[in-house]
Amino acid sequence: MLLLLTRPRYDRPTHYLFYWAGLFIDEAKKKGVKVIDLDKGKSKKKKFHSYLAKQPIDTVIVNGHGNQKAVAGEDNEIILSTEDGAELLKDKTIFVRACDAGTILGKEIMKNGARGFIGYIQPFMFLIDKNSFNKPLEDELAAPVLECSNQVGISLIKGKSATEAQQDSLDKYAETIDKYSSSEATNSFLLPILLWNRTSQVCYQQQ
Amino acid sequence: MEETNDTQIFSEDIINLVIARLETIPPNIEMSIGNEGSFSIDELKERVKNQDNIGKKMIEMQLAYLRSLGNLPTQELQNAPATN
């Protein structure tokens, strides 16, 4: 398997996603999966399209800001949109961790022959503890959402289909929601955010 | 997912309810809302009061959660005693 990963880092949300998406590289190493890591300044449209066109990539994980029709790389440069690049995802499985892209972009990617798509149909939200800003992986308030979301990528790296990866992630959300719903749990203010992201996460797969 | 209408105006009771729920979040926390940026809890409360797009997303999120409370968590279902 060959994984193409984008990890821009130029503001607070992408700073967090940069580190949390770095865990995909660790998982890939464990599984013997090769990774093309377009981190920070490498997360540009030209490179992204070039790798998709020239390398035998199976799985794509995109982190960044998005809207219904597009997703961005470093410095908010659009790297993939309904008008530009969807055709390059034919026969690939893609996870887009960005706001809203599941509504229109995801469907366009599927129309262009992708094997599977997972993304969000609403803004992707998580909490940031300002005291943990320099250590995003140790942020106990960001972790519940980002661990559930990361499960998609981890399952894809393990060779699972989009549908299976989606189910694994939804199961993790359910487990986490149960954990924070218990009477002993603190931080129950996380529950609306967990539910929001769980409900917003969609999956499309070729029959 | 239930969505709010962009022109929908929420009652003062709903606004106060959502603000009260946001006040359960500690003040040193920010919420990252995709490409809209990161917001302090005080900023979110203002957005809710103003009922702008971000405020309406907060309202939508909290109301969706409150409505979901009718569904028992699966853990409670698993731990429920047998009836006979």
Answering whether pTM is above 0.90, one says yes
Which residue among A99, A131, A188 places its CB closest to the CB of B35? A99
pLDDT for residue B4 is more than 60: no
pLDDT at B71: 63
H or E element at residue A105: helix A105-111
CA A79 vs CA A38, A51, A127, B31: distances in Å: 12, 12, 26, 25
Sequence spans of domains, chain B: 12-70
Residue A66: other Cβ atoms inside 10 A: 28
- What is the DSSP-derived secondary structure letter of residue B33? E
CA A176 vs CA A12, A41, A179, B11: distances in Å: 24, 34, 5, 32
Hey, are the CB atoms on B24 and A124 less than 8 Å from each other?
Answer: no
Q: In one letter, which amino acid is A162?
A: A
Report helix, strand or coil for A159: coil
Q: Which residues of chain A lie closer than 8 angstroms to B28, CB-CB?
A: 129-131
Q: How confident is the model over A121-139, as pLDDT tens digits?
A: 999 999 999 999 999 999 9
Which two three-digit tokens encode residue B34? 């995709």
pLDDT for residue A120 is more than 50: yes
**Among B4, B22, B61, the residue to mutate for chain A (most A Cβ within 10 A):** B61
Q: Which CATH class is domain A2-205?
A: alpha beta
Q: Which residues of chain B lie closer than 8 angstroms to A191, CB-CB?
A: 65
What is the C-alpha separation between B18 and B55, in angstroms, rounded? 10
Give the burial class of B51: count Cβ atoms within 10 A of its Cβ; 0-12 exposed, 13-18 middle, 19 or more buried. Answer: middle
Q: How confident is the model over B22-68, as pLDDT tens digits?
A: 999 999 999 999 888 999 999 999 999 999 999 999 999 999 999 99
Which two three-digit tokens encode residue A43? 């997360």
Hey, are the CB atoms on B36 and A100 less than 8 Å from each other?
Answer: no
Hey, are the CB atoms on B57 and A191 less than 8 Å from each other?
Answer: no
CA A95 vs CA A76, A91, A92, A161, B58: distances in Å: 18, 13, 10, 11, 25
pLDDT for residue A183 is more than 90: no
Residue A174: other Cβ atoms inside 10 A: 16
